[in-house]
A and B are shown apart, each in its own frame.
Chain A
Amino acid sequence: MDELDAIKPIFFEECSEQLVELERALALLESGEADQETVNCAFRAVHSIKGGAGSFGMTELVRFAHVFETALDLLRSHKIEPTPEVLQIFLRATDILSDLTAFEQGGEAVDVKRQQESFEALERLFQEKPEPEVLKETEEEEDWGLPEGFVPVPVAIEVLNEADSDQNHVDTPVDSTDGFEIFDLEPNQCVAKDEEKKIEKPEEIESNLPSPSENKKNIQPSRPVASASNTQSIRVDVSRIDRLMDLVGELVIGQAALREVFSSSEKKDPRGDVGRDDLSNAMSGTEQLTRDLQDAIMAVRAQPMRAVFQRMQRVVREAANLAGKKVHLEMDGEDTEVDRTLIEKLTDPLTHMLRNAVDHGVEKEQVRLEAGKPATGTIRLSAAHKSGRVVITLSDDGAGINRVRVHDIAVEKGIISADAQLSDSEIDNLIFAPGFSTATTVTDLSGRGVGMDVVKQAIQDLGGRISITSETGKGSSFSLSLPLTLAVMDGMLVTVAEQLLILPVSCIVETMQISKENIFVSGNNSTVICVRGQFIPIVDVTKSLGIENRKEKTNQPVVLIVEDDAGKMTALAVDRIEGQMQVVIKSIEKNYRSVRYVSAATILGSGRVALILDVPEVAVSAEGRMLDMWTSKNANEFSLECVGKV
């Protein structure tokens, strides 16, 4: 049945929403903040999954959901109480339900033993009760028992009056679809959930929105009718959105071209032509439009972090069970909206980090008690918007990084040399080094073949940064900073040996012109600059990129001081700063191949390609040299071209 197959994706999307709802309801029950509606909500979630699954003939899913639903009904009718034991059974069942749904979607097969255990645990809940009554014998057969003697009530078909049937044709009120009609072309691929909803009181709808979007204010309805319901939940085939995203990219480039034309005409005729003001106005209009359009598109793609976060409850639950530890996961900022791609790609790194936190961070109960801590460890996961980026922090109240051990392991694995003198923070950051793993035995949890280096790489691939702070005995905290979108960013255009390069504005702290007096060559030829009494390592970008024979030597280089997440500063020396602009990020890996020190490319208004500098990588190249020097291997050739050439 082709039509049914086309509906399936909608069903699966609903399933994942229902599972999130179910998790949330159970979490509320666990914390004792639940009311009757919470229980109803949990029941409805399982019920809906069962109903849909039945229509698609997913018998295993129906069978399991049925027994789950029956057990939840006992809770709903107060025949059982939400004791920790009962909730534990429900949480397990939720996991199985989620696995079964994933299996129907073509995922891994479900662990039969666990499924059976969970099934029986649920059954026991209502078998202990003398009268399960509801649903017990129903639905095994297709013809469930209608009440004795029920006779369908016949009615005659009325001929509906003209006015009515006319109205029926404009069934979907056009007003309420405003700017989003375009997504409504093929209902099987994209469904605007509330497309038909007529809105009398927009403010009421608004208050019902699960996730008020920060960007919502940027979406101007094209018609004056309330549009709030459309921002609530629009499911769109991602490839369409990607196409839109590309178009926006082109628009940004086009706008840059417009500016180019403008500035060149200005050079030709300094007095300015008649209508130049108009051109200027039109241009700033376009500029604004471009930004708005971009924001609107981002809002369409934005999704609350909740979808990922809720999944993490299970990760922690299972990891804690396996490790025999008591861990509680607290979450904050689930409503923070980020780009859909980010959401998808964050699941794996976050899962890994949480497993790590349970496995390596939180101590065993006994150890915690001896240290005067509560028996249950707490892991906090939070998300927030911070200066144009989304920051996710994951902290635990465990033992913190064991620096002596980390140092020893790093030496043992040849990551650092034995006499290396590292600061605490540098030792902490060694856990991100490739090939580093602190687990002495590979546990079932974090020993899945990947270390924190893989996590770091995954985050960097998303244009993000990760850092750690740790306090012995008090716990560790990871901070992930990610761009809101992967497509457009604010860039600083600079010239390096006649090459145009772009640096993300977000990482630049300040720019300055340096003079010779401020450059110092320290003991081992490492070069630093002195900025207001602070010494900052300086990197010659030209050298880093391997450009040897530059034509013109700059006497007065400009430095851009960049900062990483840990607050470590590096000065990057370039020839000239050209200006600031919005750039569309084009993957260089996809179109060419991965290039060291280059994170991506972009197309300038002039049509020229400019490379986007991988700032952390370039900055680390300075650090690496210094590490080399500390370890007195390979006393190096690093020098800044301009030094002494003035």
Chain B
Amino acid sequence: MPDAASIHVVIVDDQTSIRAILRNSLAQLGIINVSERKNGKDALEYLSQNSVNLIISDFNMPEMNGLELLKAVRANPRMAKTAFIILTGEASKELVQEAVKAGVNNFLAKPYTVGKLKAVMEAVFGTIV
């Protein structure tokens, strides 16, 4: 039963508004330790120096997309086990399959509700209090 306040999340999305909304949703769940990066490349750079509990990443981004980020994260022994949720509106079967193969922990479809976000996170972490 992880404590919401102890979870450190990094949001990876190229859209400022989406990041802001997600940050807001997380705050409603009591998760306030949140960082933001605007593409896979920036996120990777951030992750090389910071440890997080959860990466919530968009699929389609310039520079480095969510799938490439996932693969890079999994390839790094230090982050191989870090929870990774893909947030996306684009749900092509192949991409989803590839993400599953690469070791994604869960998916969150856009648009989502705070309840849905909670459920998706709890499927990974167990009940969040």
A-to-B contact residues, CB < 8 Å? 3-4, 7-8, 10-11, 14, 41, 43-44, 47-48, 50-52, 54-55, 57, 133-135, 138-139, 142-147, 150, 152-161, 164-165, 167-168, 171, 187-188, 191, 193-194, 196-198, 200
Contact = CB atoms under 8 A, between A and B. Distances in A.
Interface of B: 2, 6-8, 14-18, 20-21, 24, 33, 35-38, 42, 45-46, 49-53, 60-62, 81-83, 89-93, 96-97, 100, 103-107, 109-112, 116, 120, 123-126
A135 B20 contact: no
B100 A55 contact: no
Contacts of A143: 109
B90 A196 contact: no
B124 A54 contact: no
A10 B91 contact: no
B53 A52 contact: no
A44 B60 contact: yes
A157 B6 contact: yes
B61 to A, nearest CB: 8
Contact of A134 (B38, B53, B92): B92
B104 A153 contact: yes
B17 A55 contact: yes
Contact of B91 (A57, A138, A161, A193): A138
Nearest to B104: A153
Nearest to B24: A3
What 4 pairs across the A-B complex have the smallest Cβ distances?
A54-B111, A152-B123, A11-B17, A152-B106
A154 B110 contact: no
A152 B120 contact: yes
B115 to A, nearest CB: 11
A144 B111 contact: no
B120 A198 contact: no
19 contacts: A8-B17, A10-B17, A11-B15, A14-B15, A44-B14, A135-B92, A139-B109, A152-B123, A154-B126, A155-B82, A156-B125, A159-B6, A164-B50, A164-B51, A168-B8, A168-B33, A187-B20, A196-B36, A198-B42
A207 B97 CA distance: 36
B111 to A, nearest CB: 4
B74 to A, nearest CB: 11
B2 A155 contact: no
A303 B100 CA distance: 43
A135 B90 contact: yes
A47 B106 contact: no
B20 A7 contact: yes
A191 B23 CA distance: 14
B81 A47 contact: no
B33 A7 contact: no
Nearest to A57: B111
Contacts of B104: 153
Nearest to A62: B111
Contacts of A194: 38
Contacts of A198: 42, 45-46
Nearest to B126: A154
Contacts of B18: 48, 51-52, 55
B19 to A, nearest CB: 9
A7 B6 contact: no
A120 B6 CA distance: 50
Contact of A160 (B51, B97, B107): B51
A164 to B, nearest CB: 4
B6 to A, nearest CB: 7
Given A146-B96, A160-B51, A196 B20 contact: no
A55 B110 contact: yes
A51 B15 contact: yes
B49 A144 contact: no
